[in-house]
Structure 1
Amino acid sequence: MPAPERPSAAPKFFVPGDAVPENAYSELAAGMRTATGIPVITAGRILDADTAEHALRDQGVDFVAMTRALIADPDLPRKLLTGGRPRPCISINEGCIGRLYSGMPMECSINPAIRNAELGDGAAAGTTADGAAAGTTADGGVREHVVVVGGGVAGAEAARRAARRGHRVTLLEEQPRLGGRARTADLRRGRQRWDLYLDWLGAELRDLGVDLRLGAPATPDIVAGLAPDSVVLATGSRPRRSSWHGSDVAVADADDVIVAPPVPHGTGTVTIIDPEGGFTAAEALVGAGWTVRTITDLPYVAAKVDPTQVWFVRRRLKKAGVDLQGQVELIRDSEGWGLLDLESDERQAIAAPDLIVLAGARTARDDLFRTLVEALPHTPVRRVGDTRAPRGLRDAVSEGAAAGNTGRFREGRPESQSGVTLTGGS
């Protein structure tokens, strides 16, 4: 795996994202300390106590700033002192500095309390000796049995918050690990901290006494058999079918080629249709020997990536030899294959691709919702994350937190149950 970009190769004056090594600037800061004799403070992906101690003890800096680590978990210093478990920053910049650079209020992709104080962890309910929450919830409400279906970030966060409040929680996840689609993110270089965050969620659930059932598919009968007082449905999304499915060219989903890149066939050319993402898929396919073209109808590839990361994404793809083309559409007509320029309507002829990869186009995986409503007519069923509408990590975490933390299992009824749209959670 190639080494991450060094900061010296990047534009100056930026907040390093996950493409840059951790502890990015301490060596430079120590050099400044030596040259000037003036105490220095350094920042730049100092994300945990060990890294901070290394910078102070071994690299000769005087102070460290752990800005984004404290955004991800403002209680980090107290937790380090008391042996707690801080929520680990994943350094994607999408919620914090990337929003500031775009003129929007700062948030955090994994800590929704930065966006909305009501979505903080709050006080946890007392627990009995065996770890089960006692009597009532943290705010004195009635303790319920909450069944969460799906162990991606939305489901895991909903389960964590509900358990903290004092509810009895059962989580069903069909895969052997928690994380859902977020598990594919750590396959891209620089994003190994995603695993730390997902493992943190799992550790939190176990400590809170959540009945965590992995490798456990959910059916209406199985869920009903658990006798839930409320259900949170977090089953995620699936690739949306396109007009290219059913053609004589192989079509694949970006997630599938990330996990298991296919062996090149024919001329080994692939076109990635990429409205928003697909960067990791492009790198995986290049690594497998494909010649990759990535196209988008946006002004340029990676147009929706935040300003602190877009340079790294495009540089990495170009250095890998990926052909990046914006504001074009893949077409196939009587003249053969081509790219249609969406501004000029000019047509560029191209060779037929051997593989088309679809990135970003997804639809909610909510088949279970209707059947659960029928099987449990008196039990609230709430959809969160991609099950409600496919979006991003920040939305999934926030909606999971709202479902579990605000206790709004009974505040609204699902649309099909009473015609009332659920409040909160978005």
Structure 2
Amino acid sequence: MAFKKLLSPIDIGTLHLKNRIVMPAMGTGYAAEDGSATERLIDYFVARAAGGAALLIVEATAVHPRGRIFKGECGMFDDRHIPGFQRLTRAVHDSDGKIVMQIAHGGRQTKSALIGDQPLAPSPIPAPALCTETPRAMTIDEIQVVVRSFGEAARRVKEAGFDAVEIHGAHGYLINQFLSQNANHRTDSYGGSLKNRARLAIETVSEVKKSVGSEIPVFFRLNGEDYIKGGCTLNEAVEITPWLIQAGADVVHVSAGVYGSDPPTIPLIGSECGCFAPLSRAVKEVATVPVIASGRIKSPLLAEKILEQGTADLISMGRALMADPDLVIKIRAQKLEEIRPCVGCGQACIERLLGGIKKVENDPISCVGNPVMGRERAWALHPASQRKRLLVIGGGPGGIQAAIAAAQRGHEVALCERNKELGGNLRLAAMIPGREEFSEYLDYLFGEINRLGVEVSLNREVNPEYLQETNPDAVILATGAPFQRMKIPGTDPERIFTAADIFTGKSDLSDHTVVLGANQIGLETALLLSNQGKDVTVVEEGDHFAPDMGPIGRFDLLNSLKKWKVEVFKQARLISADNSKAEIMVSEREHHIKGDFSIVSVEQVSNNRLSKEIESTGIPCHVIGDALRPRKALEAIEEGYGAAMKI
């Protein structure tokens, strides 16, 4: 396919773009503590510019210290920020890219611990999710300070050499809060009618336009729908669009959702690809300027279709460009099978930033499928100084990634897997309802090991004799962490199964099932069983459900379990189960559930027994992933890549 629309140029005022592919603003956490640009941030954007994307948009950048949203966020509220971002724009331009800065104010979607004061908002109404502190209603003077702050930030954006500036008026941040009746209960000139609620947006566009003039275009990120009760609707977005253009907007970038909306503002795995494109079409019908479509547009085929249908003029391909910065190069070369796909898991690009129950909030982001993201300089692959024979034991995602990276460095690589198929637990994950897209990433991995000539041996159990026979120069041990069949006093062992038994179909379960453990694997196992028609109860000894997940993924998974009427107990333990009932202790109170029960355990134990035998031969051995300790594909893939770099 020629991708004539997607790869065609477009002019926006003074801005010439070589194709229609845009990387939208996405939080990274890569900036310095004071909001300044870092080498890490610069390297991240340069990689995407070198990969061929026409336009890169820097993440939501604070226009005022009280408008910051997360730790490691970019700032443009002081002239001291300009020099660092000048280095960024020069580097992107040197890589034949164009770059925009999105400027923003968080409003109620922040935390007092971050900004050192009570969050501000149009009215004292908390956000629907995540940032749930009650904000203080802004005075008219404070509103005008914000408008001027946007104007001053835009001046700095221009001085820093950016090719355009984007005003963030979406996703539940301050300008969107004023537009939304959910957040805006004011009775003055900034509340009530739609025109009044749009006043801050219009004044901000006018102020920004006054600051930058006709030298650089002004973009506006607009929600087509908030998807919450009382939120901004598509009809309102359509009515607002001409007002924004009249005030000076040169591009309308359409998105949707706020914190806690359904669908979410960042649609993840299981969401329809291109889900927000219909909103762009409605806005485009009234817009006299270019419109950008967004919403899980990860396939160039879908992007081309959206453009052909006249739904939009440009396409945001955000997470797709995180996963593969060379996306556009591969599209031009017609090598679509070599594009590393984003599966929308959100584990590292969203949940790391937002933080989980047990994690430090706002860790810098990464990518499950692309371990180099955010480490483009430090983790750049270089040819090995000496070609070696490498044996990778274990064909899960970590082992496969290790084999790929080692082969790319020039090593001779053999990959052994004891089972009849590659993929490990990621293959099991692809069986979970709504998680089928993991198979796309596996297909990519399989394609890469074939393309690179990795020798693959299936049904191969590696033992000391095999090591002696093959005599590799180094070994990467990626043998995982098998699920364990628990022993429960008073319960027939034939009633007890593992999560692997469920996913591989090696189980004959009763209609009633108890899953022991409410971590991600436990809850996803429960979801699979409920989809198979089982009556499922989940028992968790701890205080939290899915503590190994971030807030968005946890919310999505628990919501799915609720829809399937899965009972989930915390601070609970299973006492016994038989053909008539299950006895559960919940907060030290007995709870009986009638039925013929089976038990499913999700406990895992690392399998690294070969490591000592390998080391005793004098062969260097690198243990990675679950073989080191049970975790997720994210850590396994990172460690697989890291091990290959050391050999």
Bin for the TM-score computed over the shorter chain: 0.7 to 0.9
Map 1:28-107 onto structure 2 (within 5 A): 28-58=279-309, 60-84=311-335, 85-102=338-355, 103-107=362-366
Conservation of the 8 A alpha-carbon contact between 1:337 and 1:352 = no
Conservation of the 8 A alpha-carbon contact between 1:175 and 1:214 = yes
Find the partner of 2:552 among 308, 329, 344.
308
SS at match of 1:50: helix
- Residues 172-194 of structure 1: CA distance to partner in whole angstroms, max 9, x if unpaired? 11223221111011112332221
Are 1:368 and 2:628 matched, yes or no?
Answer: no
Are 1:355 and 2:601 matched, yes or no?
Answer: no
In 2, Cα distance between equivalents of 1:230 and 1:309: 38
Map 1:224-263 onto structure 2 (within 5 A): 224-244=468-488, 247-248=491-492, 250-260=495-505, 262-263=507-508
In 2, Cα distance between equivalents of 1:263 and 1:321: 22
Aligned-partner residue type, residue 372 of structure 1: I
| Cα distance, 1:295 vs structure 2 | 2.2
| Cα distance, 1:263 vs structure 2 | 4.3
Aligned-partner residue type, residue 327 of structure 2: L
Indicate how the Cα distance of structure 1 residues 118 and 242 shifts in structure 2: closer, same or farther if over 3 A, else same. farther
| Cα distance, 1:357 vs structure 2 | 0.9
Indicate how the Cα distance of structure 1 residues 353 and 271 shifts in structure 2: closer, same or farther if over 3 A, else same. farther
In 2, Cα distance between equivalents of 1:217 and 1:316: 38
Conservation of the 8 A alpha-carbon contact between 1:119 and 1:406 = no
In 2, Cα distance between equivalents of 1:13 and 1:209: 41
In 2, Cα distance between equivalents of 1:245 and 1:234: 33
Q: Which moved more, 1:65-74 or 1:234-243?
A: 234-243
Are 1:111 and 2:364 matched, yes or no?
Answer: no
TM-score by length of 1: 0.81
In 2, Cα distance between equivalents of 1:191 and 1:257: 16
Conservation of the 8 A alpha-carbon contact between 1:119 and 1:398 = no
The runs of 5 or more residues in structure 1 that have no matched partner are 1-6, 124-137, 408-426
User: What is the RMSD of the two structures over their aligned residues, measured on CA atoms?
Assistant: 2.5
SS at match of 2:273: coil
Indicate how the Cα distance of structure 1 residues 46 and 336 shifts in structure 2: closer, same or farther if over 3 A, else same. closer
Conservation of the 8 A alpha-carbon contact between 2:483 and 2:500 = no
SS at match of 1:309: helix
Conservation of the 8 A alpha-carbon contact between 2:485 and 2:498 = no
| Cα distance, 1:397 vs structure 2 | 0.2
Q: Which moved more, 1:204-213 or 1:234-243?
A: 234-243
Q: Percent identity among equivalent residues? A: 28
In 2, Cα distance between equivalents of 1:13 and 1:185: 22
SS at match of 1:348: strand
| Cα distance, 1:151 vs structure 2 | 1.0
Are 1:200 and 2:444 matched, yes or no?
Answer: yes
The runs of 5 or more residues in structure 2 that have no matched partner are 1-225, 229-260, 356-361
| Cα distance, 1:214 vs structure 2 | 2.2
In 2, Cα distance between equivalents of 1:393 and 1:339: 33
Q: Which has the larger radius of gyration?
A: 2
SS at match of 1:363: coil
Conservation of the 8 A alpha-carbon contact between 1:158 and 1:403 = yes
Indicate how the Cα distance of structure 1 residues 396 and 315 shifts in structure 2: closer, same or farther if over 3 A, else same. same
Q: Which moved more, 1:382-391 or 1:320-329?
A: 320-329
Find the partner of 1:292 among 519, 527, 536.
536
Where does residue 83 of structure 2 map in the other structure? none
| Cα distance, 1:351 vs structure 2 | 4.0
| Cα distance, 1:245 vs structure 2 | 7.5
| Cα distance, 1:353 vs structure 2 | 6.0
In 1, Cα distance between equivalents of 2:582 and 2:443: 48
| Cα distance, 1:356 vs structure 2 | 1.2
In 1, Cα distance between equivalents of 2:293 and 2:551: 22
In 1, Cα distance between equivalents of 2:423 and 2:398: 9
In 2, Cα distance between equivalents of 1:179 and 1:121: 25
Conservation of the 8 A alpha-carbon contact between 2:320 and 2:341 = yes
Indicate how the Cα distance of structure 1 residues 119 and 215 shifts in structure 2: closer, same or farther if over 3 A, else same. farther
Where does residue 133 of structure 1 map in the other structure? none
In 2, Cα distance between equivalents of 1:349 and 1:30: 54
Indicate how the Cα distance of structure 1 residues 187 and 248 shifts in structure 2: closer, same or farther if over 3 A, else same. same
| Cα distance, 1:13 vs structure 2 | 5.3
